[in-house]
Amino acid sequence: MRNFLTVLKRTLAVGAVALAAVSLQPGTALASDPGPHPGPSVVGGTTAQQGEFPWMVRLSMGCGGSLYTQQIVLTAAHCVNGTGANTSITATAGAVDLNSSQAVKVKSTYVLQAPGYNGTGKDWALIKLAKPINLPTLNIADTTAYNNGTFTIAGWGADREGGSQQRQLRKATVPYVDDTACQRAYGGSLTPGEEICAGYLQTGGVDTCQGDSGGPMFRKDNAGAWIQVGVVSWGQGCARPGYPGVYTEVSTFAASIKSAAAGLGRR
């Protein structure tokens, strides 16, 4: 597992801004937070339009996610505590404004954390909901063909390192960073083949941040449809020059995700 004081998952944590790196999932610190705060999220982002990314999900522990099916959310393994029955998570979808009357809220029933997850790589999980949410779903990449170019990121996380969670969904675009450059940036901490990097390596300024963990990184496929290529995982701070964001490489785990989702569907 990576040194906790050097690189954290992008989870919210009290005092996280004082650490060398910041995770992207709020965790227990969010429990005492009265709720989302107005303002931007996704560092360097702009406001998403209602209905622009209808498969985006906000999870009550402070993570993001995407609708893999109308009843299963794809998120990050570090956002959940193992595999098993779980009715404590609330998924909010259907609105860019979390306080909107259009927002749909559904409880979880079961969580499946990636088999073999130990804090390094394999950072994906599935959450089954108590009932389907009647919204479009987001397809996942099952080959490496789309692991390049420019990606879109979106979330309700912090707009700056150590900042507050947000009420309005924000979006931004980030370019692919190859494994060699990303490995060099992180001193060998990358897990090639399981993680993919994106961001403005030289200048920084645009990135996912605390509270965006588990959300999708996506781009258009050859048919012009959105396809998910990454799951927000970790990074050195937020939007720092020299440190791109690190995402779970979805194509590597596509078969495992599909099989796990089929099993959840029968549960």
Strand partners for 197: 177, 246
Q: What is the rounded distance in angstroms from the CA atom of residue 225 to the CA atom of residue 262? A: 23
Of 123, 159, 207, 212, which one is the catalytic site residue? 123
Q: What is the rounded distance in angstroms from the CA atom of residue 233 to the CA atom of residue 155? A: 13
Q: What is the rounded distance in angstroms from the CA atom of residue 228 to the CA atom of residue 92? A: 19
Looking at 92-172, list the stretches that DSSP marks H as alpha helix, in order from N- to C-terminal side: none
Q: Tokens 């080959």 identify what position?
A: 143
Catalytic-residue membership of 78? yes
Catalytic-residue membership of 33? no
Phi, psi of 262 (to 5 degrees): -60, -40
User: Virtual CA dihedral for 112, 189, 63, 30, nearest 10 degrees?
Assistant: 120
Q: What is the rounded distance in angstroms from the CA atom of residue 201 to the CA atom of residue 45? A: 17
Of 66, 213, 233, 251, which one is the catalytic site residue? 213
Of 66, 78, 207, 233, which one is the catalytic site residue? 78
Please list the active-site residues: 78, 123, 213
